Structure 1
Amino acid sequence: MPDKVLIYSRLPKSLTQRFADRFELLDSGGKPSHEVFPADEVARIRALITAGGTPLGAVDMDRLPALGAIVCYGTGYDGVDLKAAAARNIAVAHSPGANAAAVADVAVMLMLASTRRLMVADAYVRDGGWASAKPSPLMKPPPSLAGCKVGVYGMGEIGRKIAARVAVFETEIGYFSRTRYDDLPYQYFPSLEALAEWCTVLMIAVRASTETTHVVNAGLLKRLGPDGHVVNISRGSVIDERALLAALQDGTIAGAGLDVFETEPHAPDELTMLPNVVVTPHIGGNTREAHVAMQACVVANLTAFFAGEPMPHPVK
């Protein structure tokens, strides 16, 4: 009889079919499991699959007394209370690096779209401004990427792939991370503030945590300067969105490219309506290849858990 696995977050059926081929899935549709399934069935659940950003705290774990494994779909696990899991001897695993290339591609896409004002140029053609030679202050020549200073905040798998891709554009690359890596050819900065002071484009690739919440604030954005751009493919919580809105409105910085937001899904608002902002709906890791790789990690983690073995991709 297949092992039962709870789908804790709301995940499309197309992404869970591979799991259904190996396990018996209890899909709560994003609702609390105790509201969807009988109490005796919930009490027997030993493993669950969750999206890393979905809140999963001590109270939620207490409702699943037999729970032994939390497996995150993707690299993130910021929604999981790791201390609560450890206190209950619940192992937590994820899919490290599985979508790194896909996310790095979107980071570069947003960087190019923001620095070269893609949305403004697109609108200029579509609304007839170009055909009628209508003057547009938004179409003034931007600085070149060649020689541009790009700062990468967070030098994990995604940060490294972003840096490698950006280097092709003849940019200078610097980074700030909790760890200084001797194997990297990029300039290391001792603080995020120092990195922001130096760079023109700030790429946010840091893992979300209490320490990084709103770390990109009004003061940091001011350090970027009027030609500065910020690109976020990490988590929306890293940026103070009110401060970002003000900085974009008053010219403190030139532009932003955002794939993530503090509240998702993000409804249209003042921030998304600005012409100097490029937005995408958290699609960084959304490629066929990335999903195949993430699903492989999930299957490997669950298979090992149910076999009584350590999961191969634990959260460290």
Structure 2
Amino acid sequence: MSRPRLLVMSEAIEKLVRPPETEFDIVRLEGVGDRDAFLRQHGAGIAAALTSGVERFDQARFDLLPDLRLIATITAGVSGIDLVAAAARGIAVTNAGDLNAGDVADFAVTLMLAHAREVVANDRWVREDRWPEARRRPARSIATHRVGIVGLGHIGQAIAARLAPFGCEIAWWGPRPKPEAPWPRFDSLDELAAWATILIVAARGDDSTRGLVTRDVIEALGPEGLIVNVSRGFVIDEPAMIAALKDRRLGGAALDVFDREPIKGSDWAEVPNVLMAPHVAGVTHEAFAAVFAGALDNIRRHFAGQPLLRRLA
């Protein structure tokens, strides 16, 4: 019996997920120059693909993969996948779903607390021997903040649950009401930003959320406001955010993600009041083990004719 053909988008993904060659006929794209030309020649018969979610799967690429029926993604984001085109072709798409939501939420709250309580600046103050000269100015109590969460999916809900014990007010906005949510939903993102002192972006990162946090949203958050992003960099109008930070029209930013990654950190040297991390919110041993095993499990489920988990399309 022939093994099902599995397309693996990179050597790194293969090493992480480790699909057994005893189970699958693995088609590798690592080192391939013209990927479309390669798939035009070898794409027939490929029934499933294993991806990080950023690699391109659009109408044109689907034309090169006539037998593709599953795209299994190891992350929550699916910015490279045209979900509408996939659904129209009967191609299932799965992602990490809630498997790493708790760890991402932990990091979002960590970024918020570190920035709001000026942890890095206080560390620098001590290291620079400035403590004997004077104390730093007092920070604002976390309990007095109004935290607006953009997107109340798995990660957004986990963020809200973690913040509730701090005593701060919590509200959210997303494209669809969730009557079961215990936190109030604003009618628009602009209104949420105008109300909030801290805006945490946890929306799903795909074409529907590209540029969601506009210049107007940033302006509404204002010169005392803090924006935290654990979604995708392109969800925020990054040039508008940088300009607002430089002009002090936005109080601060704590960012785990950027529009084009990896960034050159020195390019941000003149951008004030920014706390940055290299896209690590979901990077824990436990989360990695769960999402990699989850992707492989869905591939096996697909070929066994079993229901898929965390299905998006």
> How high is the TM-score relative to the length of structure 2?
0.89
CA contact (8 A) 1:150 1:200 kept: yes
Q: Partner of 2:91 in structure 1?
A: 90
Per-residue deviation, 1:272? 5.6
| Partner secondary structure for residue 147 of structure 2 | strand
- Tell me how far apart the structure 1 counterparts of residues 118 and 236 of structure 2 sit (CA, whole Å): 21
Per-residue deviation, 1:38? 8.5
Q: Partner of 2:283 in structure 1?
A: 286
**Deviating more after overlay: 67-76 vs 119-128:** 119-128
- Tell me how far apart the structure 1 counterparts of residues 20 and 259 of structure 2 sit (CA, whole Å): 29
CA contact (8 A) 1:245 1:270 kept: no
Q: 2:191 aligns with which of 190, 194, 199?
A: 194
- Tell me how far apart the structure 2 counterparts of residues 270 and 74 of structure 1 sit (CA, whole Å): 27
Per-residue deviation, 1:155? 0.5
Letter in structure 2 aligned against 1:68: R
| Partner secondary structure for residue 78 of structure 2 | coil
Q: Partner of 2:163 in structure 1?
A: 166
**Deviating more after overlay: 37-46 vs 71-80:** 37-46
Per-residue deviation, 1:125? 2.5
- Tell me how far apart the structure 2 counterparts of residues 200 and 85 of structure 1 sit (CA, whole Å): 39
CA contact (8 A) 1:120 1:276 kept: no
Per-residue deviation, 1:66? 2.3
- Tell me how far apart the structure 2 counterparts of residues 209 and 281 of structure 1 sit (CA, whole Å): 20
- Tell me how far apart the structure 2 counterparts of residues 141 and 274 of structure 1 sit (CA, whole Å): 23
**Deviating more after overlay: 29-38 vs 209-218:** 29-38
Letter in structure 1 aligned against 2:234: S
Letter in structure 2 aligned against 1:305: H
- Tell me how far apart the structure 1 counterparts of residues 28 and 72 of structure 2 sit (CA, whole Å): 14
**Deviating more after overlay: 97-106 vs 81-90:** 81-90
Structure 2: which 5+ runs fail to align?
A: none
> How high is the TM-score relative to the length of structure 1?
0.88
- Tell me how far apart the structure 2 counterparts of residues 189 and 21 of structure 1 sit (CA, whole Å): 52
| Partner secondary structure for residue 206 of structure 1 | coil
CA contact (8 A) 1:9 1:54 kept: no
Letter in structure 2 aligned against 1:52: G
Q: Partner of 1:7 in structure 2?
A: 8
- Tell me how far apart the structure 2 counterparts of residues 29 and 112 of structure 1 sit (CA, whole Å): 40
Q: 1:144 aligns with which of 141, 153, 159?
A: 141
**Deviating more after overlay: 39-48 vs 203-212:** 39-48
* Percent of residue pairs bearing the same amino acid type: 37
**Deviating more after overlay: 211-220 vs 48-57:** 211-220
| Partner secondary structure for residue 164 of structure 1 | helix
**Deviating more after overlay: 51-60 vs 201-210:** 51-60
Per-residue deviation, 1:40? 5.7
Q: 2:310 aligns with which of 292, 307, 313?
A: 313
Q: 1:182 aligns with which of 161, 179, 182?
A: 179
Structure 1: which 5+ runs fail to align?
A: none
Q: 2:253 aligns with which of 251, 256, 260?
A: 256
RMSD across aligned C-alpha pairs, in angstroms? Answer: 2.5
Cα deviations across residues 251-278 of structure 1 (Å, max 9, x unaligned)?
Answer: 1122111111111111224436534111
Per-residue deviation, 1:67? 1.6
